[in-house]
Chain A
Amino acid sequence: MAANPGEIAKRLFEGVMGPLVLGGALRPGHAIGARAALALGGDGTMDGLDASLFDRVQTARVRRARMLTPVDTVDLPAPPEWAMAAALHDVLQSANPSLDAALRRKAAARILELAHQTLERVPPPAHAGDALSRHTWFARVLDVAREDTSVSWWTGSRVFRGVPPPGRLKAWPNLRRVNVVTTPRPLLELEPLAVDREKLAEAVTLLLARTPLTDLATCARTAPPFAWSEGTLALVGTRAGRTLALRALARVAVTWVDVALGRATRELLTHKRATAAPAIALLAERTLALAQTAPGSLGGRPDGAFARGLGAAAALRMLRAEDSEWPEDERRRLIRVLESAARTDAVREAAAMLEGAS
């Protein structure tokens, strides 16, 4: 029996999409499935939504977008965004600890598989505005964490996963020697897990690939590791997309961005050298911006040296090009700064790889 799309949309919006933007508790409900997910966003989908909540969510999305670009409005959720949200809903539900039981693990795996299927059918963003719109929905997707509460008392203990412990267990804390420890567990560190952890990570990676601006903005994450995808390369291949990406990266610690981008770009140059030009352009512009505003930050951790070196080598090539549009004085100053920062083995290695790439 297929559920009404309006009801699913209402449940999805109030349980996942709204809190994902506004913060608070995400309450995934019954699994949605690929067919229903891809059917969302049509006529009547939004009829049953709470208007007040919707307005607050749209305002928060504008605030999120204005961190990167001065827009005053954001579009209504598009069908791909509904589908991605529904897929996220199912990914979260597949990690439900109650499914980690005999005869139920298959159901969890099936839900995750359908979420994967949904995400595969979501098209990449058509333009930078589309990427920005998706980013306003999923910017905090990696912040989702389940609070596991361990309650111990004089005669026993219990763990409550994702639900608050009942008050009776916390009563008379001194007499019963009650000890309550709450541990936040990020999505990819949940346990017990009814599904294969790698498949869960794959689903999250696929979701990030469908929102490339979020993928780049969270490149300093620990898991899943950042890697250049078609979506991110396509985004930074455009002028507007690159600007958005640079602004998003500027909000993250320089060192961690260098490490993540350096590792991903080295891999890209090794395996898909032909597609690396947008990534190199991004690094070059980023290094130029640093050389112009904060030359001292061109140092940093050694494992970030590759990204800086590659960016410096590419930036030097841009500055030395005959059609360079930089003012002459500024161009010479930047070349001096970059050359002084580019006397390392990492930079020479990067320059050699860059020569090979061109």
Chain B
Amino acid sequence: MNPVLERIALHQTRLHTPGLGLDAKGVALGAKGLVLLPSIDRLVAFLAVYTRERSLEDLMPSLVMHVVRSKLGTREITLEVAAESSDRMDRLADTARLVGGFAFTGTSRHFVQYRDAAAPFGYDATELLSTDAALLLYHDRFSQTYDVERPIGLRPLLLRLMPHVDPSTKDEPGLRILVAEQGLGPALVHYLVRSRVEGDVGVAEWPPESAFDDAPVRRWVLRVPELPDRMRQLVHGTPGITAFVPVGPGVAVEAGYRHPIELRACPVFEAAGLVLVRGRGDEPWAIAKLPPMGALSAFARVELRATGGEASVATGAAPAETVRVPLRVTPSSGPWRNVTATWVAPEQLPLLRKLAYALPHATVAQARIAVTTRGAFVRSAAGIEAVPLGTFFVEVHPGLYVPAGHEVTPAVAPEVLARALAAPASQVLFLTTQGRAITVEDGAFVPLETALLEAPPWEPVVAEAIERALDEEPLRLEVTSAGMMPLRGVEPQQG
């Protein structure tokens, strides 16, 4: 068909296309924006480019995608959204241009080409096509009519797309969701429990995979916040265990693969459920509602003695053989973790005072300090590295600190050590490198920000308090009975 578009001139007010108007900038804009894409892969490219920088959340309420068919029988893809502003349309048009699509604007059936460099105020169709087609698109190079063949849902599209192979996602830190087949689940759970890996575990059910199965498919779903590096190979390489990397609320992609579209920008997944997108073309596993999850530690293996009584009762007491050895604090090559306290010696206190001016606000706000005759003890749950002074301490147990880079020998558990030291809960205990223990009253720790500032002297305003104290109560005359004979015994003065 011949081109029937003309450029809209500056200050032009009369437009031929129904439903087309001018926005505040003078740009021709209808109620909707439409992007015409030649194929599904172009649509995927469009979504991939668009979601790379911004979310689809603002488009979702009005986003409609269709497969449309022209009179010649060719199938193309349309994506319609509400054209709220020329800014939104500019973004859509730029993205469409990048992936080989065309941007249009209109209101019901007639859509004209959206503005481009040749026509900064857009286009108007001077001659409208007369047809019953559902869509009539006017472009400077073509005018075409389309009929809607079928809609395309965003969520089904996303789930049908096969993720690309990307081994780098296996090494990404952070949360992992592990799905283990029913037979492997208990073993994996016990392995993680033995390795002191924290996490949650639950069992999810899927419908039978075929009509020959009469029972639902059960799989163990584990959520592991920090999977130790040494276990990555195990969870990625063991058949029957699949690791997923969360990529957005309610959706995760199998480790080793990356979804072509930024799923975080597509708000089509329920946060209460979970969709696990698998690689290799396998269909995704969807869990409408996450099953109850329990802590991994609750699944630790328990064993019962098969023989013997309930308890062996002692029949007498004999003096215990002394096996106690003195506590030693020895240097350790282990990594420094949880360094949350420092002991600043008295001679370093002037330096701490100078350092106070350079400390960031977060450190000043979080740190607590206790000044003692042995120096100042500074604690900060978020880490004490910002105070590069003194001897650093690692909190191995609540209220029990061991010098950083050192360990306690004999290598007893921190709980045992705390119990052996028998320090009250109100005391914070610091073990020195000489194996001595220094306790500081927990109440002696005050926020660093209150201890730091040497405020100028001030006088309390006591005038108001004094005024209140001296405030005079009103005088209330209370009426009492005057009696039946008010003058009884009332006598005048004689003489």
Contacts and interface: CB of A to CB of B under 8 A. Distances in A.
Nearest to B494: A35
A243 to B, nearest CB: 23
Given A19-B475, A63-B470, A33 B489 contact: yes
Contacts of A144: 475, 477
A113 B476 CA distance: 24
B468 interface: no
A146 interface: yes
A35 B492 contact: yes
Interface residues on B, range: 20 to 34
Contact of B492 (A108, A114, A145, A161): A114
B477 A30 contact: no
B488 interface: yes
A22 B493 CA distance: 30
A224 interface: no
B487 A27 contact: no
B479 A161 contact: yes
A88 B483 CA distance: 19
Contacts of A147: 476-477
A127 B143 CA distance: 117
A33 B489 CA distance: 8
A19 B494 CA distance: 31
Contacts of A107: 482, 486-487
A92 B490 CA distance: 15
A162 interface: yes
B481 interface: yes
Interface string A66-100: 00000000000000000000000000110111110
- Pick from B475, B488, B492, B494 the residue with the most CB of A within 10 Å: B475
Interface string A12-26: 000000011011111
Contact of B480 (A27, A36, A111): A27
A56 interface: no
B132 interface: no
A162 B479 CA distance: 5
A118 B494 CA distance: 11
Contact of B479 (A2, A24, A98): A98
Contacts of B470: 63
A116 B490 CA distance: 14
B495 to A, nearest CB: 10
A41 interface: no
Contacts of A110: 487, 490
Contacts of B472: 23, 140
Contact of A28 (B480, B489, B491): B480
A145 B476 contact: yes
A147 B475 CA distance: 10
Interface string A262-299: 00000000000000000000000000000000000000
B475 A29 contact: no
B474 interface: yes
A2 to B, nearest CB: 6
A125 to B, nearest CB: 20
Contact of A20 (B475, B483, B486, B491): B475
Contacts of A199: none
B310 interface: no
Contact of B478 (A2, A27, A63, A118): A27
A103 to B, nearest CB: 11
Given A31-B486, A98-B479, A163-B479, A143 B491 contact: no
A65 interface: no
A34 interface: yes
Nearest to A67: B470
Contacts of B488: 1, 30
A355 B23 CA distance: 91
A321 interface: no
A21 B490 CA distance: 26
A177 B121 CA distance: 69
Contacts of B214: none
B321 interface: no
Contacts of B476: 24-26, 145-147
B473 interface: yes
Interface string B59-89: 0000000000000000000000000000000
B475 A36 contact: no
Nearest to A160: B479
Nearest to A1: B489
A342 interface: no
Interface string A119-152: 0010000000000000000001001111100000
Nearest to A144: B475
Nearest to B481: A98
A26 B474 CA distance: 10
Nearest to A161: B479
B479 A26 contact: no
A3 interface: yes
A29 to B, nearest CB: 6
Given A32-B490, A111-B487, A98 B478 contact: no
A114 B474 contact: no
Contacts of B478: 25-27, 146, 162-163
A314 interface: no
A344 to B, nearest CB: 38
B395 to A, nearest CB: 57
A336 interface: no
A117 interface: yes
Interface string B188-206: 0000000000000000000
B491 A187 contact: no
Nearest to A186: B477
Interface string B321-333: 0000000000000
Nearest to B479: A162
Contacts of B492: 33-35, 114, 117
A165 B175 CA distance: 71
Contacts of A35: 491-494
A86 to B, nearest CB: 11
A162 B486 contact: no
Which of B472, B482, B487 is most buried by chain A, counting CB atoms within 10 A of its CB? B482
Contacts of B474: 23, 143, 145, 184
A96 B470 CA distance: 31
Given A26-B475, A28-B480, A35-B493, 6 more contacts: A24-B476, A27-B480, A34-B492, A98-B481, A98-B482, A140-B472
25 contacts: A22-B473, A25-B478, A26-B475, A30-B483, A31-B482, A31-B487, A33-B489, A33-B491, A35-B491, A35-B493, A63-B470, A93-B486, A96-B480, A96-B482, A98-B479, A98-B482, A104-B486, A111-B487, A114-B490, A117-B492, A118-B493, A140-B475, A145-B477, A146-B479, A163-B479
Interface of B: 470, 472-483, 486-494
Nearest 3 A-B pairs (CB), nearest first? A23-B473, A162-B479, A33-B490
